[in-house]
Structure 1
């Protein structure tokens, strides 16, 4: 078990017995590591904001504040397959890789029988036609947009002209013809939408971009009016 998986498993173990404690010795035996490793793992969880604390005494150990953490999400097999079908539409978007990772986490959190039922159901869902060719969006670009890091890109416009630009990433625009990086172009001193399949090279700088408020009416794209995505 790697450290990331162990940290997740530690939280789940402490959640399962909360508010009772687990000793470092017990946890070390459970995860087949040293008590020193458990102590370092607990320290890492605390520094990340996980509500874990040490309870002193002969019967003490580490406790988790269950009220401040979320329990595992219980998806039904139908719900898991619905997510898989929805994520199929994310091919070619900046969120395709993250979606696949999220789906794997979802399946790992499900009960074994529900996960098996979901695997059976998804094997009975069939699609017609090949997936369209989609640009490979560099993880560097998607990570930089999330972190608001200024990007230096080489971009080829519709007329085949290439330019190198520093861009303050604002977000994305999805349309019927493809996905665009939405950003403040310092070369043009204005808001621009860059087609992702025309971004030839990208470098994330150490500079944090300022926050910019963008209204859908500020962005001009030929496909139609913009709508802002929400969770509702």
Structure 2
């Protein structure tokens, strides 16, 4: 068993035993390695964000917090490459992408050596030029959508006219390389789409908002995006003739 396989096995053993702890000595005997090696492996798992914890005392040991860990997922090689490509292609301005590097490390650790090497080789060939978003905006938008909280934004439209809005978020939409916050704009009393790279500032409110259906909120925006995509496609077709 190589180190990658042992790290994965340690996580599975601790998850299966939870909430009972396992001692370093027990784990060392289980996997035929030294106590120092097990201690180093457990420390490495903690550093990569795996919810591994240590409980001191005579009946203590190492355990994993089941409430903060997902159950094991068995991926085929093709599925692992699809996940790896999606993670590698997520630029810094993509919502919820901050956890991507840690997820990539865990994915590689869960794969066999040959599959992990194939994943690493693929991600080395994927390069993304990130779009610009104002500092601190993206985490606020992520929380507003995930927690269904009202968000205040300062927004610049395509003519660079600035306005302040309170928005009840419905969700996120990506189209033509841009990300949009779709929500109910209290100022306009209508559904609106706000391009994230035009949001200049954002603050999360404590006020919860009602759940709103995305199709009702993004209908106009979706129509504009489809028209723009159609025009671009026609332009490309004319250029190739």
Task: Note the residue ranges of structure 2 that are not aligned, 5 or more in a row.
Answer: 1-7, 28-37, 40-53, 228-241
The residue number in structure 2 matching 1:108 is 109
For 1:118 and 1:49, the matched residues in 2 are separated by 26
Deviation of the 1:84 alpha carbon: 2.9
The residue number in structure 2 matching 1:203 is 203
1:40/1:34 Cα in 2 relative to 1: closer, same or farther (>3 Å)? Answer: closer
Q: Deviations over 1:65-93 (max 9, x none)?
A: xxxx83343442x5433333334443343
Deviation of the 1:179 alpha carbon: 1.4
* Paired residues of 1:75 and 1:110 also in contact (CA < 8 A): no
For 1:139 and 1:186, the matched residues in 2 are separated by 22
- 2:165 is the counterpart of 1:144: no
TM-score by length of 1: 0.63
Greater helix content: 2
Counterpart secondary structure, 1:203: strand
1:39/1:185 Cα in 2 relative to 1: closer, same or farther (>3 Å)? Answer: farther
Q: Deviations over 1:17-42 (max 9, x none)?
A: x6xx8964736975764435987986
* Paired residues of 1:24 and 1:35 also in contact (CA < 8 A): no
Equivalence map 1:7-46=2 (5 Å): 12-15=12-15, 24=21, 26=23, 33-35=54-56, 45=65
* Paired residues of 2:148 and 2:169 also in contact (CA < 8 A): yes
Equivalence map 1:15-164=2 (5 Å): 15=15, 24=21, 26=23, 33-35=54-56, 45=65, 48=67, 70-76=71-77, 78-91=78-91, 92-120=93-121, 122-123=123-124, 125=125, 131-136=128-133, 138-164=138-164
Deviation of the 1:194 alpha carbon: 0.5
- My pick for the range that moved more, 194-203 or 131-140, is 131-140
How many matched pairs? Answer: 190
Equivalence map 1:142-221=2 (5 Å): 142-176=142-176, 178-215=178-215, 219-221=219-221
Deviation of the 1:141 alpha carbon: 1.6
For 1:175 and 1:96, the matched residues in 2 are separated by 17
Q: CA RMSD in A?
A: 3.8
For 2:22 and 2:86, the matched residues in 1 are separated by 44
TM-score by length of 2: 0.61
Deviation of the 1:173 alpha carbon: 1.8
Q: Which has the higher contact order (CA 8 A, sep 6+)?
A: 2
For 1:197 and 1:37, the matched residues in 2 are separated by 55
